[in-house]
Amino acid sequence: MLEVAQLECVRGDRRLFSDLSFALGPGELLQVRGPNGAGKTSLLRMLCGLMLPAHGEIRWKGSPVKELGENYYRDVTYLGHLPAVKDELTAEENLRIASGLDGIEIERREAYAALKTMGLQGRETLPAKVLSAGQRRRVALARLLVCGTVLWVLDEPLTALDRSAAGLVQSLIAGHLEKGGVAVLTTHHDLHLQSRHLELGT
């Protein structure tokens, strides 16, 4: 479903990687590893179309991502380094608005249920600025419960999470893969999931 062919990344003066190719089918997980600055985040951003590769092509379901335009984003959810949570909004508002911008309106009930699953019960109406870093990340991750997209691109999703939350996220990903979804992520944690590996910067 996701094909990458001869991908090359140039940042400033440095060529981070070149001639990178891989293909992922339904139910497959790709873990991208490598030292800092190796281009892991750049690769993920290229997969999302936020960054243009210096060379090469990315194809989703057979069509080049460049041609798909906005339609590509119906199938993709990207969670980056920053949790993308507005300080002034409550956890519930953050989730519902983030989801709404993706084109999926969810009821308060659904939002509360998702936040409860992520361990934020009782904190739904608190402004995000009083939440801890780990709690903010859980709000961000709650999107995964409601987005229903096929491709998940996650940059260090387990950052700031305690062990139980990390376990929860891993089971979320596992469930997603079982349903035929595809996931690409970077992490320096150990994932107890069957996955393919990609090493950058070697």
Partner 1 sequence: MRVEGTLSLVAYVIRRDLLLAMRRRADVLTTLFFFVIVVSLFPLGVGPDPNLLRTMAPGVVWVAALLASMLSLGRLFSADYLDGTLEQMMLTPQPLSLMVLGKVVAHWLVSGVPLVLIAPVLGIQFNLDLEALMVLVVSLILGTPVLSIIGAIGAALTLGLRGGGVLLSLLVLPLYIPVLIFGAGAVDASLSGLAFQAHLSLLGAFTVFALLFAPWATAAALRISME
Partner 2 sequence: MAKIAWFKYSSPASFYFLAGRMIPWFAALAAVLTVAGLYIGFFRAPTDFQQGEAYRIIFIHVPAAWMSMFIYVVMACWAALGLAFNTRLSFMMASALAPTGALMTFLALWTGSWWGKPMWGTWWVWDARLTSELILFFLYVGFLALQAAIDDPRRADRAGAVLALVGVVNVPIIYFSVQWWNTLHQGASISMTKAPSMAAVMLTGMAVMAFAFWMYSIAVTLYRVRLIILEREKNSQWVRELLEGRRTDDRGLDAAATEAR
| Closest C-alpha to 14, from 33, 46, 37 | 37
Name which of partner 1, partner 2, none residue 12 binds, using a CB cut-off of 5 to 8 Å depending on partner kind.
partner 2
**Residues near partner 2, by CB under 8 A:** 11-13, 15
State the number of CA atoms in the 13 A half-sphere of 43 facing the CB: 32
Based on CB atoms, which residue is closest to partner 1, 90 or 187? 90
Q: Which of 102, 160, 174, 191 binds partner 1 (CB under 8 A)?
A: 102
Examine residue 81 and tell whether it contacts partner 1 (CB under 8 A): yes
Angle between helices 108-117 and 91-101 (to 10 degrees): 110
* CB 12, min distance to partner 2, A: 6
Based on CB atoms, which residue is closest to partner 1, 69 or 202? 69
Q: Which of 17, 60, 78, 152 binds partner 1 (CB under 8 A)?
A: 78
Based on CB atoms, which residue is closest to partner 2, 55 or 116? 55
Tell me the residue length of the chain: 202
| 62: helix, strand or coil | coil
Examine residue 85 and tell whether it contacts partner 1 (CB under 8 A): yes
Q: Which residues contribute to the site for partner 1 (CB under 8 A)? A: 48-52, 70-71, 73-74, 76, 78, 80-89, 93, 97-98, 100-106, 127
